[in-house]
Amino acid sequence: MTTEPDGTVDLAALGADFFRDPYAVYARLRERGPVHRARLPEGTVVWLVVGYDEVREALSVSRLSKEWRHASPAQPVQSVTTGVSMLRSNAPQHTRLRGLVSRAFTARRVASLAPRVQEITDRLLDAMRATPEGRADLVEALSFPLPITVICELLGIPFLERDAFRSWSETLVVGAPTDRTREARAAMTGYLDRLVETKRGRPGDDLLSDLIEVSDQDGDRLSREELLGMAQVLLIAGHETTANLISNGVLALLTHPDQLALLRADPSLIDGAIEEMLRYDGPVAASTLRFTVDPVEIAGTVIPGGGEVVLPVIADAGRDPGRFRDPGRFDITRDARGHVAFGHGMHFCLGAPLARLEARIAVSTLLTRFPLLELATHPAALRWKAGTLLRGPRHLPVRWKGHAA
C-alpha cells in the first residue's frame, strides 16, 4: 500500500487488485488502527473507519451528517441520488421521511411479493436452462434481471425503461464526478419527474402511486423533491444491491463445495446461508458518505469538522476476528446475525426484507433447477465493479452438465 507524505493511504494506486480483494487491504489497515485518512480510487480523500465496533459506531453517530450541504467543496464528491431522501437526511427529517415511506412500503407488501418473485425467477431460469451450450452469465441471466424487474414492477416503471435505468445507475454508483455521471443523474431525475407527474393524474396499483398519496395522521405528505429522492433511492438500491447479493452469494457457494453440498443436502439452511453471504461478501462494501460539521472523535481519533468525509467500511466489519471467529471462512452454519451488511442505526436499510426474500428464492430455486452448476472460469479471472460503494462481479460465467427434470 502506497502512503502519501502526509500519511494518506493511496487506495487508488492499487488499481484493479483493490476491487478484486479489498478485504486484504482493509485487514492490513485494521491491524494498524481503526481510523485512516485515505484516497479512494474515485479520487476523494476520506476518513476510513474499519473494525466491527468502530464501523457500528460510525454508522450511528448522530454528529456525522448525511446532508450533502455539509460536504466540503474542496472534495470531488458527488451523490448517487438527487432530491431529498432518507439517504441524504438526518433526524428529525429522516424520521419523518422513514415514517411516511414505511406506511406504503410495509412488511405485508414485501411478503405478498413472494409468488411474483418466484414466478420471475422460474421464467428466467427456464430461459437459462434452454441455452443449448449449457452455460450462461449468471449476472445477465438471473442476478440483474430479477431485482430490476421486481423493483420496477413495485414502483410502476414501464418495462421498456429498465435497460436505461441500469445504465444510469451503474454510472452513478461509481461515484466519480464526471460529465457522464452528471448526464446520467439528469436523465434519471428527468424521467422520474415526468413519471411522478403522470401518476399524480393516473395513479396505479404500485408503490410510487402510494407514495404520492401517503400521509400521516396530521396530513403530512411527501413533497415533489422528496418523491424524486425516494424514487431514486428505491430504484438504485432496490436492484444494484440485490443483484450483487445473488452473484456474490452464488460465487461463495461455488467456490466452497463443502458448503454448497451442505445446503443442497439441507435446504432449510437457506436463511442462515443468506446471512452468511451478507457477512462474508456482502453487496455493499462501504456505506454512503457522512460529513463532519464539528470535530468528531471515533475510536480515539479526532476527525476535523468542516465537511470532512467519513466512510465506514461495512465489508471489513464482517471480517473482523474480534466479532466473527475465523472470519475468512465461509460457513453457512455460522450464526452471522449482527452483521452490518444492511447498515446499522437509524439508516438501517428499509429494503432489507425484500433483498432477503429475493436472494432466498433465487438461490434456492437455482440450486434445485441446476444440481450440477459450477463456475465456468477461475475466480481470479472475474472482473469486479469499480467504486468503493458496491461490490459484485461484472459477469459470473457458470455451466452445468444436466438439470432437474
pLDDT in tens, 9-47: 999 888 888 999 999 999 999 999 999 999 988 888 999
Phi-psi region of 106 (alpha: psi -120 to 50; beta: other; left: phi over 0): beta
CA 215/CA 195 separation, integer angstroms: 20
CB hemisphere CA count around 399 (13 angstroms): 8
CA 6/CA 142 separation, integer angstroms: 46
Given a cut of 70, whether residue 77 has pLDDT beyond it is no
| Cell 405528505 belongs to residue | 221
What pLDDT shows up at residue 404? 42
Given a cut of 60, whether residue 136 has pLDDT beyond it is yes
Given a cut of 60, whether residue 217 has pLDDT beyond it is no
Query: Which whole number is the average pLDDT over 220-227?
Result: 84
Q: Specify whether the CB–CB gap between 282 and 318 falls below 8 A.
A: yes
Backbone angles phi, psi at 197, to 5 degrees: -65, -35
What pLDDT shows up at residue 7? 83
Query: Which whole number is the average pLDDT over 185-214?
Result: 87
Three cell numbers at 143? 442476478
Confidence class of residue 405 from pLDDT cuts 50, 70 and 90? very low
| Cell 444494484 belongs to residue | 240
Mean pLDDT, the chain, rounded, equals 89
Q: Which CATH superfamily groups domain 2-399?
A: Cytochrome P450 (1.10.630.10)
> Peptide bond preceding 147: is omega within 30 degrees of 0, i.e. cis?
no
Which is it for strands 374-375 and 397-399: parallel, antiparallel or unpaired? Answer: antiparallel
Given a cut of 70, whether residue 205 has pLDDT beyond it is yes
> Over the range 178-201, which residues count as b (16 or more CB within 10 Å of their CB) and which as e?
eeebeebbeebbebbbebbeebee
Q: Which amino acid is at 395?
A: H
- The reported pTM is 0.92
CA 292/CA 278 separation, integer angstroms: 28
> Peptide bond preceding 92: is omega within 30 degrees of 0, i.e. cis?
yes
Query: Which whole number is the average pLDDT over 279-287?
Result: 95
Distance of CA 42 to the CA centre of its chain: 18
Q: How many CB atoms lie within 10 A of CB 75?
A: 17
Given a cut of 90, whether residue 309 has pLDDT beyond it is yes
